[in-house]
Amino acid sequence: MAEPEQCAYLCVHQGTVDQVLEELPPDEHLYDLAELFKIFGDTTRIKILYALRENELCVCDIAQLLSITQTAVSHQLRVLKTNKLVRARKDGKNVFYALADDHVHKILALGMEHIEE
């Protein structure tokens, strides 16, 4: 098995390392950010978020749009709501879901822009 390439000498740019360390968010914030991005790692959740970009929808509407069961939609909406990506509004017996805020719109837009480059 071949040896991995290594630098011929050790050269740490301590000033740069110190500057980056100073700007690095706390580990708890980085953990939370990683957890947030995990939520975007499911195609069904992404489809739901994209559908909600267009309009406020109830579980039945989303199930019809995505051709999946209402149970599956409810489960994914629970995950999205717990992670503050969607909000719910009750109207009589119906509950309508929408994206929680403009940040979610921006995350989706930037992600799509990135993959379309």
DSSP per-residue letters across the chain: -PPPP--SS----HHHHHHHHHHSPPHHHHHHHHHHHHHTT-HHHHHHHHHHHH--EEHHHHHHHHT--HHHHHHHHHHHHHTTSEEEEEETTEEEEEESSHHHHHHHHHHHHHHH-
How confident is the prediction for the chain on average, in pLDDT? 93
Q: What is the pLDDT of residue 40?
A: 95
pLDDT digits (tens, 9 = 90+) for 94-103: 999 999 999 9
Bridge partners of residue 58, in order along the sequence:
96
Q: What is the pTM of this model?
A: 0.83
pLDDT digits (tens, 9 = 90+) for 26-41: 999 999 999 999 999 9
The structure tokens listed for 17 are 């390392």
Greater model confidence, 1 or 117? 117
Compute the distance between CA of residue 45 and CA of residue 85 in angstroms, rounded to an integer. Answer: 10
- Structural domains in the chain, CATH included, are 26-116 (1.10.10.10)
